[in-house]
Amino acid sequence: MLCGLLGALLPCTALAAPPPILETEESNTAVMPKPNPHWLYVGTRAGGVTIIDGDTAKIVGTINAAPAAGFALAPQGKEYYVSETIWTRMNRGTRQDLLSVYDGHTLNLIKDIELPGRLIASGRTPYFSTSADGLRGYVYNMQPASSIITIDLAKRNVLGITEIPACGLIYPHGKTGVATLCADGALADVAIDASGHGRITDRIPFFDAQQDPVFEESPVDRAGGQALFITFNGMVHPVHLGAPSTLEKAWSLQQAAGLSPATTSPEQTTWRPGGRRPFAFHPGSKRLYALMHEGAPWEQKRSGTELWVLDTATHQLVNRFTLPTSGYAVGVSEDNAPLLFVLSEDGWLWVMDPETGKILRSLRDVGRTTLLATDRS
Amino acid sequence: MLCGLLGALLPCTALAAPPPILETEESNTAVMPKPNPHWLYVGTRAGGVTIIDGDTAKIVGTINAAPAAGFALAPQGKEYYVSETIWTRMNRGTRQDLLSVYDGHTLNLIKDIELPGRLIASGRTPYFSTSADGLRGYVYNMQPASSIITIDLAKRNVLGITEIPACGLIYPHGKTGVATLCADGALADVAIDASGHGRITDRIPFFDAQQDPVFEESPVDRAGGQALFITFNGMVHPVHLGAPSTLEKAWSLQQAAGLSPATTSPEQTTWRPGGRRPFAFHPGSKRLYALMHEGAPWEQKRSGTELWVLDTATHQLVNRFTLPTSGYAVGVSEDNAPLLFVLSEDGWLWVMDPETGKILRSLRDVGRTTLLATDRS
Amino acid sequence: MFDGRLFEGWSEKLTRRLASGTSRRGVLSRVGLALAAAPVFPLLPVDRSRAHAATTPRLTEFQKNAQVTDDTRCNYWRYCAIDGSLCSCCGGGVHSCPPGTQPSLTSWVGTCYNPADKRSYLIAYRDCCGTSSCRQCHCDNTDGALPTYRPQANNEIIWCFGTSSMAYHCSTAALVGVAE
Amino acid sequence: MFDGRLFEGWSEKLTRRLASGTSRRGVLSRVGLALAAAPVFPLLPVDRSRAHAATTPRLTEFQKNAQVTDDTRCNYWRYCAIDGSLCSCCGGGVHSCPPGTQPSLTSWVGTCYNPADKRSYLIAYRDCCGTSSCRQCHCDNTDGALPTYRPQANNEIIWCFGTSSMAYHCSTAALVGVAE
């Protein structure tokens, strides 16, 4: 360096070319990158749906949502849908039940579709969902009679209301199929016509709703119509959803691991499923992922200390992963090179390799999760 | 006991009278107890004003408030006032600036007074306050011109708007007096007539607003008109608010403790005031309580590790209390047997004896504090 | 351990309400789930299956740890199926809403075991609604808590039906009868 | 270390805006605080007092710990007076709002020292507004931050003026000029 050669004659800083001055910047707004199947959608208690890219564990964007909202996606992430209830004066004024439609590229609000009602409860997948092709939206309502509000998502209007007495929750399948669960422990098929009106056509009793109910967040592959209704004790009831739906042979998560099946006996401490959203299903590999803890009955919301990997074809446990912090919700991407997602009660997202359980990436401060969604597009 | 005397003939439980069956209950709603000067009012980031009885460290009630609200009390807690902004559709729709009036006995909403605007910012005392007699409310507005909106609290309507160019914040005193602080480092007296209109009448320059500004949450005794404007460096400027206001001799918090006065030099590490609401003043004893930390300039929001007790008559440090967790906001009840309140960043309320610094009681999970108020009634 | 008098007092209200008019009956027949919207007490099926004989209780984890003295802690016996902030920590009480809030007219219900008298009681969990969330003493107990297809035992629904505002503040646990 | 070209580029916008009509001047004269509501860049006084000579900087605590490589951390040099969530953590960038949000048309301003070139720059902190709060990477830096009576240096105001919604999402830090 010249200044070095000149030694003490000139200080080095005086001769070195000064670094260029940084250029000024304009403010702008980003748009969404092309969606990929490794995106995870996380709804939180405080409101908002955070979109996280599992390949980087970074936030891509946030969709506005009121607390206790529902959330659904159009195929290929072209649009996002939020079902929510807002009062004109926050906690007072006029109640407004809305299905808010957001553009997938800009995340700008396209339209608020006014709804005739909706159940206000801590967000769960079967409170608001769409048909597999994304053309119909279904909002669960209970005020206090139980009903399904069907929305034409292309025309952006409410088609009609179908009452489902003594049943609740919505599990759509295929283009127009809808199943629901009933207070007496049956699955009911609901036929809803093009006008949004319909009725229950079939009822298949298969569980004890009082002693060993099935989890609301039981996983369903809407496209294939394959559902796995899983009870608090860990009995897996495979159902092929259709008209009518057909029940397959039940099996036990504990037996898949070589243990005795769990019972409702308070004395029996064993591995049990639990959490906010304890299950995820990967249709391609037919693998089920379950958050498991050791405990007694009636701890169905307790977070999982382990994640179990189960083969739903052979009913065998494939792997058990110990989690860094207890898992509250689990998801798996639906592509052929899937990522596993675990949200913890203390606000961590763990992105894991579903084959090895290795923690690939993580993100903290995600907030208390209610909803969790992935999309195969 | 009879069963004991009879020995093994009859088991004791079979003879003992069975305990009476518990009676059924009706649901009802509590009303507020009579206010006392040891009540503390805490506004939090998430919204809501929590009322805590310092004698028990228990919550007495919660007043509804939107995030970024302002809060004020009528004398004797007869009414509570919340200045807030609510949109008809949460984050969209029509903006509504409101002064919401709550009944002190039931905490029910009495009226929403519509305001012509208000500054939306993390709540601070001089954004919304009342005259000492509680008959007038003053809301600070900046959109972007600076103004004071005067409200007749008895008639529940807006009187008028007074522009205060190049000034901001509201420090009411007496029945109709208002002072404000200005961008050039002056205190300005504002005269507002019965119609709510007015103007700046006097300006007293006394601080360097760029290098060593005074804290917004400088303590003011509205009834007595005594203000202590305290700079980031810890210079206390006593001002007797009036028409016109009069400035008294400034003194240094550090000098009161036998240290050199703090300067703006980045090299000087010394004890400095800081936090969300670093000061509280007890008019009866003329004592000032200040949250202090050791650090450099421009850390004015840093929480205090110590609470200093200062005699404002003699300009002497009386006591130094080490806090269990760093203090973010401090308050003192205004009665003759005062309690000291410290809110910490991690959500603790510490109720302390102002003479000894002893922790008398505590409450956790209070939330991130923005506003803090006490009332002498 | 069924106490006819007290329980009848409670079911009497129920019967009175059932008889109070055709229009309400019309609603009830549609509901099907024994869930009513407006009256002071919710319409509930008696939970027979989870009742315990006093002499040989088989206790759940919650019941084993339950206490009867401090209603500001999550393990107070009545809170066996509560999800939310305890109104006892918020200026209310175990069956009182804090000032400025209203009790919901409907509720979810749990069957909780009282270790002091070894009886099980029906507990109506009514939300208190109308003002900013209390956020103190959050509990999430799930003894006998059921999914939304059994709404009367569901603690995730915002049970503010029938109040003038559905803003959730806290939850109470009123004793409404003895479980059979 | 004042770079005339770049700074004039910035102040030129300012001048153009000042000359853009009587009505705006009318507003500005009332504002008095050199704060404007609508234009792309806020109207600001140049902060002369806090600029540092490149050769003999006296660094604040923030400046001593500042780094120039990671704009998702609170000690990134430009964030010397930011209060809020970093948009860089929320799907935006250091001067880009995340999808679905709008940059505020006004801003608060800091003077931050860049340890890489030892210059001080004017940074406009624009809030991004319109959607649920991001809540990631919360920072509260206060170098030169001033109370509300100097609003152009105040980081507690929700600076969503001029956007269609004032719902706060996150904050950006755009470089708008060299400090004298």
Residue B15 lies in a domain: no
Q: For position A45, what pLDDT does the model report?
A: 86
Strand, coil or helix: what is B349? Answer: strand
How many angstroms separate the CA atoms of B306 and B291, rounded?
Answer: 6
Chains that touch B (3 or more CB pairs under 8 A): A, C, D
The answer to whether D167 and B91 have CB atoms below 8 angstroms apart is yes
User: Comparing A57-71, C133-147, D155-169, which segment has the lowest mean pLDDT?
Assistant: D155-169
Residues forming beta bridges with residue B282, ordered by sequence position:
B287
Chains that touch D (3 or more CB pairs under 8 A): A, B
B305 touches chain A (CB under 8 A): no
* Confidence at D24, pLDDT banded by 50, 70, 90: very low
pLDDT at D44 over 90: no
Domain span at B110: 32-373
Cα separation values, D138 from A320, D82, D90, D92, D169, Å: 36, 9, 11, 15, 11
In D38-151, where does DSSP find H-type helix?
Answer: 61-65
Which pLDDT score is estimated for B143? 82
Asked if B316 and B295 touch (Cβ cutoff 8 Å), the reply is: no
Chain C nearest-CA distance from A198, in A, is 15
* Nearest-CB residue to C167 (from A91, A163, A266): A91
Q: Cβ contacts (< 8 Å) between B96 and chain A: which residues?
A: 89
pLDDT of residue A3: 43
Q: Token match 């009903």: residue?
A: A147
- D abuts C (3+ Cβ pairs < 8 Å): no
Nearest by CB to C99, from B31, B47, B58: name it: B31
Backbone phi, then psi, for D73, in 5-degree steps? -120, 150
- pLDDT of C47: 34
Which H or E element spans position D4?
Answer: helix D4-18
B299/D61 Cβ within 8 A:
yes
The answer to whether residue A309 sits within a structural domain is: yes
Distance CA A315, CA A110 (A): 45
Q: Cβ contact (<8 Å) for B89 and A86?
A: yes
Q: Is D123 annotated as a binding residue?
A: no
Residue of A12, A13, A15, A24 best to disrupt the D interface, most CBs of D under 10 A: A24
State the DSSP H helix or E strand holding residue A63, giving kind and residue range, or none if neither.
strand A58-63
Q: How far apart, in whole angstroms, are the C-alpha atoms of residue B101 and residue B237?
A: 34
Beta-carbon separation of B29 and C96 below 8 A: yes
pLDDT of residue B3: 43
The residue from C71, C77, C127, C159 that is catalytic is C127
Average pLDDT taken over every residue of chain D: 75
Q: Flag whether pLDDT at C7 surpasses 90.
A: no
The Cα B29–Cα C95 span in angstroms is 9
Q: Is residue B68 part of a domain?
A: yes
pLDDT in tens, A333-367: 999 999 999 999 899 999 999 999 999 999 999 98
Copy the structure tokens of residue D19: 């000359």
Beta bridge partners, B332, equal B340
D116, D119, D172: residue with CB nearest A27: D172
Q: For the residues C113-126, what does the mean pLDDT come to?
A: 97
**How far is the C-alpha of C101 from the C-alpha of C91, rounded, in Å?**
11
Q: Are A64 and D130 in contact (CB under 8 A)?
A: yes
Distance, in Å, from the CA atom of A240 to the CA atom of A174, rounded to the nearest integer, reads 11
Contact B331, B315 (CB under 8 A): no
**pLDDT at position C28:** 31
Write the pLDDT tens digit of every residue in C46-76.
333 344 444 456 899 999 999 999 999 999 9
Kindly tell me if the per-residue pLDDT of D10 is higher than 70. no
Is C148:C156 a contact under the CB 8 Å cutoff?
yes
| CATH code of residue A89 | 2.130.10.10
Q: How many residues does chain B have?
A: 377
Catalytic pick among C77, C108, C143, C159: C108
Decide if C127 is catalytic. Answer: yes
Question: What is the predicted pLDDT for the residue at B220?
Answer: 96
Range of the domain at D59: 4-178
User: Known binder of ligand: residue D83?
Assistant: yes
Interchain contact D/A (3 or more Cβ pairs less than 8 Å): yes
pLDDT at D45: 33
The C-alpha torsion from D49 through D50 and D51 to D55, rounded to 10°, is 110
CA distances from A338 to A51, A330, A352, A374 (A): 17, 13, 9, 11
Positions in chain A short of pLDDT 50: 1-14
Among chain D residues, CA nearest to B188: D149
Instruction: Kindly give the residue spans of alpha helices, DSSP state H, lying in chain A.
Output: 2-6, 12-15, 253-256
Structure tokens given for D104? 């505020």
Bridge partners of A281? Answer: A288
Give residue A377's pLDDT: 63
How close is the nearest chain C Cα to the Cα of B32, in Å? 6
Q: Residue A103 is encoded by which pair of tokens? A: 């553009």
**Which CATH number covers residue C66?**
2.60.30.10
A260 burial via Cβ count (<10 Å: 0-12, 13-18, 19+): exposed
Q: Which is the catalytic residue, given D77, D108, D143, D159?
A: D108
In a domain, B2, yes or no: no
Nearest to B338 by CA among B290, B281, B296: B281
CA D39 to mean position of chain CA atoms: 14
Burial of A310 (0-12, 13-18, 19+ CB in 10 A): buried
C-beta neighbour count of A314 within 10 angstroms = 11
In a domain? residue B54:
yes
- Domain count for chain B, please give it: 1
The total domain count for chain D is: 1
Interchain contact, A211 vs C106, CB within 8 Å: no
C neighbours by CB contacts (3+ pairs under 8 Å): A, B
- Strand B136-142 with B128-130, pairing: antiparallel
Contact B22 C121 (CB under 8 A): yes
Q: How confident is the model at residue D48 (pLDDT cuts 50, 70, 90)?
A: very low
Is D156 annotated to bind a ligand? Reply is yes
* Six-digit token string for A323: 């989690």
Determine the pLDDT at residue C164: 83
How far apart are alpha carbons B324 and A359 in whole angstroms?
37
Residue B27 included in any domain = no
DSSP B4-56: HHHGGGS-HHHHSPPPPPPPP---EE--PPPP-TTEEEEEETTS-EEEEETTT
B229 domain-assigned: yes
Mutation for D interface: A59, A112, A348, most D CBs within 10 A: A59
- B69 closest CA partner among B94, B93, B102: B102
pLDDT for res C15: 28
- Residue C22 is predicted with a pLDDT of 27
Beta-strand relationship, D96-97 and A28-29: parallel
Spatial distance between the Cα atoms of D174 and D124, rounded to a whole number of angstroms: 5
Structure tokens at C151: 């709404």
B254, B261 contact by CB (below 8 A) = yes
The SS3 assignment for B59 reads: strand
**Catalytic residue list contains D127:** yes
Dihedral angle sign, alpha carbons of residues A140, A145, A150, A156: negative
What ranges in chain C are assigned the alpha helix state H? 4-18, 22-31, 61-65
- Looking at per-residue pLDDT, the higher value among C21 and A326 belongs to A326
Per-residue pLDDT of chain B (377 residues; tens, 9 = 90+): 344 444 444 444 445 678 899 999 999 999 999 999 999 999 988 899 999 999 999 999 999 999 999 999 999 999 999 999 999 999 999 999 999 999 999 999 999 999 999 999 999 999 999 999 999 999 999 988 999 999 999 999 999 999 999 999 999 999 999 999 999 999 999 999 999 999 999 999 999 999 999 999 999 999 999 999 999 999 999 999 999 999 999 999 999 999 999 999 999 999 999 999 999 999 999 999 999 999 999 999 999 999 999 999 999 999 999 999 999 999 999 999 999 999 999 999 999 999 999 999 999 999 889 999 998 76
Chain pair A-B, CB pairs under 8 angstroms: 24
D155 is in an annotated binding site: yes
Residue D165's pLDDT is: 84
Residues of chain C in contact with residue A95, where contact means CB-CB under 8 angstroms, are 166
Taking only the tens place, the pLDDT of each residue in A252-265 is: 999 999 999 999 99
Question: Closest residue of A to D98, CA-based?
Answer: A30
Stretch C12-26: mean pLDDT: 29
Largest Cα–Cα separation, chain D: 46
Place of tokens 């803090």: B372
B216-238 in b/e form (b: 16+ CB < 10 A) is bbbbbbbeebbbbbbbbbbbbbb
CB contact under 8 A, C126 and B107: no
Residue whose C-alpha is closest to residue B315's, from B217, B228, B226: B228
**The pTM is what?**
0.89
Backbone phi and psi for residue C121, each to the nearest 5 degrees, phi listed first: -125, 155
Cβ–Cβ contact B89 with A under 8 A: yes
For residues D21 and D29, what is the distance between their CA atoms, to the nearest angstrom? 13
